[in-house]
Amino acid sequence: ITSRKILLAFIPSLNEICDDFVELIRRKRDSNGCVKDFQDLANTVGLEIICCLVLGRRMGFLSGDRQKNEKFGKLAEAVKSTFVYISRSYYGFKLWKYLPTQLYQDYVRCEEIIYDTIAEIVNEALQEEQQQCSEDDVRSIFLSILQTEGLDTKDKIAGIIDLIHAAIETFSNTLSFLLHNLSHLPEKQHKISQEFDSVNPVTSTEMSNATFTKACIKESYRISPTTPCLARILEEDFVLSGYHLNTGTVVICHTRVACQNEQNFRNADKFVPERWLEQVDENQNVYKLDEPGAPLVLPFGTGRRMCPGHRIIDIELTLVMAKIFQQFEVEYHSELDTQFQFLLAPGTPIEVIFRDRN
């Protein structure tokens, strides 16, 4: 799924999805240009994108179909709730390990909704699938997963469900934070629009050259990551800052705190995407700013446990930013409150104003 060949083949379909997303924003705006509860729309486009990539077909979640919207609404709520329940299960005495507590029952109910809904989507795609698709076609991903030997079909479908499940909430949160970080910086929005001008469809060349857009995405990862900390279980004894930690100890690295520390980043509390770009001094010498904390920006983890979806979401965000800022100037109409739900997520409904760009 994360191979360059597959992702390049996916860009035309992603262009179509992002164009439909822009039209959905237009339909949902009120007379003042305000979209209420923007995260619902972000969830919707996130699901459409990951389903199209994995299943090789458009599922129609951006079409306004009432039945599909109701189905997706239940799925999105269940996905959000599972992260809340997982977070709550981490603290205090874990009675749920021994008895089916209310927390456990609520979690199971949400997982059943997620499994049943996504399984229905997968089975619908399976029934429609034609066996004649070329090797470089995005649709071949679905077939290649289902045709993999050594795994039961149920396990394969469960893997697809896990992938779709994980992609929905993380994309939605990341997009919401990114727009918030840019909402009070119209000059940076304009620079993003200039990188893509009026190009449509956006090609891999424009995306590769969009250095400022990518810098904005990376800076948003730094200042408001959806995954604010990394957890690892030590495989051997380890001495950390003079403390001896035994094998099996759970170590949590709070990267968000570290990334907002002035010892690691200049103006750490400011959204400054230029910190990631090459600079030119008065003698036309090219250099990069020395940011000691640069290695701490790890939105997808690191090492063997690194999230395999990092290339996918970078392409998604770059193209969504291109399409949004080609068409709109963006302002947040409401304060952004965050809460920890195992992931970092908006704590209140989001209202975003989309004004047509002249």
- Nearest CA among 266, 255, 262 for reference residue 295: 255
Q: Could you tell me the pLDDT band of residue 143, with boundaries at 50, 70 and 90?
A: low
- 52-72, pLDDT tens digit by residue? 888 777 888 888 777 777 877
DSSP string, 259-286: HT-TTTSTTTTS--GGGGSEEE-TT--E
| Nearest alpha-carbon partner for 188 in 2, 88, 321 | 321
Is 182 within the bounds of a domain?
A: yes
In this prediction, residue 140 has a pLDDT band, given cuts at 50, 70 and 90, of low
Within-domain flag for 265? no
Strands 250-253 and 238-240: unpaired
How far apart are alpha carbons 321 and 331 in whole angstroms?
14
In a domain, 11, yes or no: yes
How is residue 64 written in tokens? 């306004």
Angle, CA 236 vertex, CA 231 and CA 237 arms, to 5°: 95
Assess if residue 201 is contained within a domain.
yes
Predicted local confidence at residue 32, as pLDDT: 93
- CA-nearest of 2, 317, 334 to 183 is 334
**What total number of domains does the chain contain?**
1
Q: What is the pLDDT of residues 214-224, one digit of tens each?
A: 999 999 999 99
Q: Concatenated DSSP letters for 138-152? A: TTHHHHHHHT-TTS-
**Residue in 196, 189, 258 with CA at minimum distance from that of residue 225:** 258
324-342 confidence digits (pLDDT tens): 999 999 999 878 888 887 7
Maximum distance among all alpha carbons in the chain? 70
**Residue 287 lies inside a defined structural domain of this protein:** no
- Say which range, 110-124, 134-148, 320-334, has the weakest mean pLDDT: 134-148
Distance of CA 21 to the CA centre of its chain: 15
Distance of alpha carbon 66 from the chain centroid: 25
Cβ–Cβ under 8 Å, residues 355 and 331? yes
| 1 pLDDT more than 80 | no
Task: Label residue 61 exposed, middle or buried (CB < 10 Å: 0-12, 13-18, 19+).
Answer: buried
Q: pTM for this one?
A: 0.87
The CATH number of the domain where 313 resides is what? 1.10.630.10
| Phi, psi (degrees; rounded to nearest 5) at 344 | -85, 125
Torsion over CA of 353, 354, 355 and 358, rounded to 10 degrees?
Answer: 150
- Specify burial of residue 198 (Cβ count, 10 A radius: 0-12, 13-18, 19+): exposed
Are 206 and 199 contacting, i.e. CB atoms less than 8 angstroms apart? yes
Query: Does 276 map to a domain?
Result: no
Q: Which of 14-18, 266-270, 290-294 has the lowest mean pLDDT?
A: 290-294
Residue 307 known to bind ligand: yes
Helix (H, G, I), strand (E, B) or coil at 36: strand
The two structure tokens encoding residue 349 = 């409904």
| Bridge partners for 339 per DSSP | 345
In a domain, 74, yes or no: yes
Give pLDDT tens digits for 145-201.
777 777 777 787 788 888 887 788 889 999 999 999 999 999 999 999 999 988 889
Average pLDDT over the chain, rounded to whole? 87
Q: Which domain holds residue 214?
A: 4-227+299-356
Q: Which helix (H) or strand (E) holds 238?
A: strand 238-240
282 occurs within a structural domain: no
